[in-house]
Structure 1
């Protein structure tokens, strides 16, 4: 049985009203900061893939283009005296996260061995470019790090500040050189609302969890991820 023009018009109006209502609900939920707005958005529009900052600035997708990367971390002496293993712990975890996303990364053992052979220090990224056959060098420079609340030995809260940079390696006249292609400040505070008591979680467990969090956040500068994978 064929629909009349009036029935067709009525169905169209009903459909339009439903669409407008859904959009209004989404806007209201988003404006209120409610996570339901995010959930509703995913329900109607899917889980979008977010482009990482490195790809936005360079148009290079490290996982798709099979570029080999070297990760290096550095901290001032004031931090190394309190946390002597911090550089290697971050190096290892960031490398693990990048590999998990399909990015080829220089073996951490080879990087650590080279650093040990050179007294644990390196002068500049060109020196790294000369000694490792990689396409990019990621340098994580941590200026401040702590996971203990100041003047409160029983409270834990992670705070970190530093710079994340990336260099593309080129060969010029037979000499390998590293050219800067990406740089961004990095700041972290966790948890932001209130510290954690050592009665709830030991300092050792909290430190490991916080280092994993830092590595995840830094890794996301260099690989795309879905909005549902946001770190809170």
Structure 2
């Protein structure tokens, strides 16, 4: 390594250290009851993580060895009429989220094909048996919207529903292991004007957000992650 590149690295590290110190000072002058040591620990070691609710409630984990998962989403016909394919889209986005975090998940296209071939299915456990998985995650949407209430020119994603996990046994039978109501809205701080973003782009943004909220029930996340979703 030549002396010039070494000087560059030292200069870069110095600037990073100064930036962190400046951020601490700014936060401490703007926040009441500031604890300098907490802020320093936050900047040096990163934000504290939050245990997935599923893990905390069941003492199990979707990332355990040999665990496989199938995800199926249901939306009433009214929602499917207003938002064509919303149940399939949410299943695909949620599957991708869990895959990103090390969960072995069944390809959502395979599950969709099975559902098309078996239109009379009525229990999530049937999907668990068909794909020989450890768990079935059933997401049932009750409400879903992409517009701010009483507005046609402001976007704000909203959803309510229930997430239920069924644990499968060796005989193909399933038992409800975990359930959690979800209430979601995005952006957190203020709605987005329809003139600023297209409908299709905002739809993708909200599906990404909603699938992450569902995913956080099953994977670790960090305090402060919502800062990027505030606006």
TM > 0.5:
yes
C-alpha distance in 2, partners of 1:115/1:108? 11
Q: Does 1:213 align with 2:209?
A: yes
- Per-residue CA deviations over 1:148-199 (Å, capped at 9, x if unaligned) read 224422111111000111111013xxx4111111111100111243321111
From 148, 162, 180, the counterpart of 1:184 = 180
Change (3 A) 1:170 1:150: same
- CA-based RMSD of the aligned residues comes to 2.7
* Residue of structure 1 equivalent to 2:159: 160
The answer to whether the 8 A contact 1:66-1:103 is kept is: no
Unmatched tracts of structure 2, length 5 or more? 1-23
Change (3 A) 1:79 1:30: farther
1:51 shift after superposition: 0.9
Q: Does 1:138 align with 2:143?
A: no
Equivalent pairs, count:
202
- Per-residue CA deviations over 1:53-90 (Å, capped at 9, x if unaligned) read 01001111222434100000001111011112101111
* Residue of structure 2 equivalent to 1:76: 76
The answer to whether the 8 A contact 2:146-2:158 is kept is: yes
* Residue of structure 1 equivalent to 2:114: 114
C-alpha distance in 2, partners of 1:177/1:30? 55
Change (3 A) 1:129 1:40: same
Scaled by the length of structure 2, the TM-score of the pair is: 0.78
The answer to whether the 8 A contact 1:139-1:165 is kept is: yes
The SS at the match of 2:169 is strand
Change (3 A) 1:188 1:127: same
C-alpha distance in 2, partners of 1:85/1:181? 28
Q: Does 1:50 align with 2:50?
A: yes
The answer to whether the 8 A contact 1:30-1:38 is kept is: no
The answer to whether the 8 A contact 2:72-2:124 is kept is: no
* Residue of structure 2 equivalent to 1:62: 62
Scaled by the length of structure 1, the TM-score of the pair is: 0.78
The answer to whether the 8 A contact 1:30-1:37 is kept is: no
Deviates more, 1:145-154 or 1:176-185: 145-154
Q: Which has the larger radius of gyration?
A: 1
C-alpha distance in 2, partners of 1:151/1:183? 31
Change (3 A) 1:64 1:130: closer
1:143 shift after superposition: 0.3
C-alpha distance in 2, partners of 1:139/1:149? 27
Q: Does 1:203 align with 2:202?
A: no
1:221 shift after superposition: 0.5
